[in-house]
Structures are given as C-alpha cells and as structure tokens.
Amino acid sequence: MRLILSTLAVAASALAAQPAAAQEGEPSTGGLPQVEVKRDYTPLTAERLNEMVPKHPGYLGALAPENLNKPRPPAPIDLTGTWFIDLKEGFAHYLFGPPYPYFYEGGREALIEAPKYAARNETYRDAIGQCFPPGMPMIMTRVWPHAFIQLPTAIYMISGFNNSVRTIYLDGREFSDPDLVVPSYNGESIGHFEGKTLVVKTKYFETDNHWIDHGIPISDEFEMTERIDLLDGGKVMQIEYIMTDPQNWRGEWRSTKRFNRQDYTDINESHCILAYNENLPGTDLGKEAAEERGESKVEGVADDE
C-alpha cells in the first residue's frame, strides 16, 4: 500500500511541474518550459536604508508636508501653466543674441566658426543632436512647450523637448556647499520675490558640451539671474536673463524673452534616442544618413533636383 501511495505522489508531483496547456487565443510559448524562479533576499537594516537616501541635512525637502505647510506669505504671482516661446518677431528670435557681450576667445571662435558650418549646411557643436541636455538657458529656446508647476516651496519646470526637469526653490534655503554640490545642466536655482517679480539666481552648471546659441561655451563660473514677470493679465510670462561668465565674456550678457500661456496643450513623454537622430537632418547623424541617401544635408531634397 505504501509503495502504491508513493508512486501516486511522484506522479502527481510530475503533473504539477508540467506547464498548463495553452488556452485558445493565447500567445505561443515557443515550446519553452516555464522556469521556476527563486531568489534569496537579504533584509536591509534601518540604518542602511537611511544611508541610501540622498539628503541635505539641516533643511526639509521642497515636497515635505512640514515644509509645504509652513506659514509664509502667499506668492504675489503664480507661474503654474504651460508656456510656449513667443516667436512673432521671427524664428531666430529664440536666440540670446545679438546683441552679444564682449567675448573672449571661446565666444569669438564660436561666432566665427558657426556661420562657416552653416554655409556648408553642417551643424556646429551638435551636442543636443548627440543627446546631451540643452541645459539652461538653451532649454528655454527649444520650440516646445514648458510646464511650470508652482508650489509654496518650489517651482517645477518640465520641458516638452526632452522632459528636462528644473527646480526653482522658494523655501528660503541657501545654495549648496560648492565643495559638495554636483553640477548639472540646469544648475541649482533659488528664487525670491521682489514685489511681483520673481528673481531667480542659478549657478553650479555642468559645462561639458553645454553651449549657448550657436556653440558659445560656458565655464564653471557661469551664473544666471532671471527676473520673471507676468504681463497681460497673466497671459504672458516675461523673463529677463542676466548672465555672467568672467572666463568667457566681459560684464553682463542680457536678453529678454516672452512666453505665451497655452491652455490647450500638455507635456508628453519625450526622450533623446541617439539612433533615431538619423531621421533628423539637422543633426550630425541625420546629415550623414541624408548624404548616403543622396539627399541634401538639411532640406531632404535630392541633390540633383
């Protein structure tokens, strides 16, 4: 009897190990067996979990409820909305110059070389086409909408161009320790209100392949101040940019831009995928692909037409 029961148990176990028969309409399994996955988990201590979270000791995060709920005067303006750069004066108006400041070697080289490349229908310092972030201030010149979400402690800006995220802190914090901060393409931004004008100072920029206009470089001394106002009953956002970089130009580089509120659009998911840039003739990869197809470098028109 025991032998019979043992044999039945083995048979039942073998049947249980077999994958269930596919039901009609299900995708094929390709004849592959169902793999039983087992993992060993090692619990982490509370101390280790605490160490893993990046923190800035001494002040609360912008989204901490205790910070959001602190008593503070209401903001005099609210930038929440979706904004699109005003190009009514022409497409090239998105650039930050001219007028330009008194450039040193790097800026002068860019202004000389960029037109030469353009005359050959070639791109100059195509960092964006190589999926480097545009960074501030160039991200604001992309012809895509920008979403601003204003909270009592911070303004979150999301660009439709490549989902670039920028945070402007409004909770009264100081800039990070320069010996500890990690530079970024949008920099670290801290704002305060002067009347109804939001004044934002930004520094700690990543400089690798980070250009302004047509390849004008910045250094680790680059800093930017923005004076932001709402005009026309909140339908227009005006930003005055005041940029300094003692390694690359003399004094202040100023430029003022306007952005129109756009209530019938949203920000979608967007990523820069290098291989896909072969389809964009305005990039280095796209130019090469167009040439191989016998097309012009930018316009996509056959060279012999």
- Neighbouring CB atoms inside 10 A of 234's CB total 12
Is 70 exceeded by the pLDDT of residue 287?
no
Q: Quote the mean pLDDT of the chain.
A: 87
Element (H, E) at 230: strand 223-231
d(CA 87, CA 71): 40
Q: Is the dihedral of CA 260, 227, 93, 123 positive or negative?
A: negative
Are 78 and 142 spatial neighbours (Cβ–Cβ below 8 Å)? no
pLDDT 10s digits, 65-86: 999 999 999 999 999 999 999 9
| Local structure of 219: helix, strand or coil | coil
d(CA 62, CA 76): 19
Is 80 exceeded by the pLDDT of residue 2?
no
- Tell me if the pTM is above 0.75: yes
DSSP annotation of 101: -
Phi-psi region of 60 (alpha: psi -120 to 50; beta: other; left: phi over 0): beta
CB crowding 161-170: b at 16 or more within 10 Å, else e: bbebebebbb
pLDDT 10s digits, 109-153: 999 999 999 999 888 998 988 899 999 999 998 889 999 999 999
List 188's β-bridge partners, or say none: 203
pLDDT 10s digits, 50-69: 999 988 888 999 999 999 99
List 155's β-bridge partners, or say none: 150, 168
